[in-house]
């Protein structure tokens, strides 16, 4: 699952938790804290992946020039 799709699912779960009538406020709060942590991790993973792809695209021509690719 791509980072973007994963992020969307986490946001849907967060919304469902907020609207839940069966969870206590404490359960909602604890669950949302965990979800927000996962959302931040998901964003960080996406940023890292993008940066690695940028680096790789910059290094690839150099490796070709050196005959390593």
For the whole prediction, is pTM greater than 0.85? no
Q: How many CB atoms are closer than 10 A to CB 10?
A: 16
Range of the domain at 24: 3-65
Angle among Cα 46, 3, 13 to the nearest 5 degrees reads 125
pLDDT tens profile 24-53:
999 999 999 999 998 888 888 888 878 877
2 pLDDT tier (thresholds 50, 70, 90): low
Question: What is the total count of domains within the chain?
Answer: 1
pLDDT tens profile 13-31:
999 999 999 999 999 999 9
């Amino acid at each position: 699952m791509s980072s973007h799709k994963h992020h969307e699912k986490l946001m849907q779960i967060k919304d469902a938790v907020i609207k839940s009538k069966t969870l206590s406020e404490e359960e909602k709060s604890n669950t949302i804290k965990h979800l927000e942590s996962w959302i931040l991790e998901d964003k960080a993973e996406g940023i890292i992946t993008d940066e690695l792809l940028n680096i790789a695209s910059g290094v690839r021509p150099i490796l070709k020039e050196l005959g390593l690719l």
